[in-house]
Structure 1
Amino acid sequence: MRMSVVIPVLALAACAEPPARDEVPFTPEYLGVDTGLLDGDLVRFDVAMTGARDGQDVDDYAECAAAQYALIRGYGFARHLRTNIEEKGGVWRADAVYTISPSLPQGLKTIDAEIVVQNCAENGIPTV
């Protein structure tokens, strides 16, 4: 008899929707950026943070670093090539690679560095 009560409760718990991203607590602590020039305009960004809601938060941190780096180098644009994200023990890490360029590069994942840096400042995300 007790079994018939437990099974429906477990079934309902399994069907529950996860909370919306904006409902998850967000208390970021940005742990720093390591930048490495790979070749010419190809740059790697290793970033780490705690308090992320998901991988998007650490990906945003890497994008902010890439945008600021492009501006520091006198370029106005960047193009995202790839990002590897991992979470271990509450620390989120991203290893991202971007190209930087003075003009808008071809491709779908391009960023205007000035606009991205401004958005990062408005959202409290540090840059390089």
Structure 2
Amino acid sequence: MITALYASLLALLMIWLAVQVIKQRRKNRIAYADGGIEGLQVARSAQGNAVDYIPITVILLALIEYNGANVLLIHGLGIIFLVGRVLHARAILAQELKGRINGMKLTFAVMFALVVLNLVYLPFDKLW
């Protein structure tokens, strides 16, 4: 299953973001929430954003794969989404607005494409 590759790579990104939060917690000795520490707020924001967008997009990618989409299309969308998520995560941590915007543009483009493609590849004959 092709989606497993992108789910695994995106899980690694999520682990890396969690480690950034842990580093900030240890550095600032904050056990819960963010303690008003900007570095921890930024790290938590990056992690939270990934958690918001990655799961549903991986599910949508798996569904078009399951319903028979072209292998190159699945890889293309997976790569674009992965690049968008990495750009966005790195930009949040660097507090760089342009990278965040570009990362979200790629993220939303892939999500919208997957919504449309899931409707196209939907096996209507098996719905009823």
Return the structure number with greater helix share.
Answer: 2
- TM-score band by shorter chain is under 0.3
Greater RCO, 1 or 2 (C-alpha within 8 Å, sep 6+): 2
If the length of structure 1 is used for normalisation, what is the TM-score? 0.27
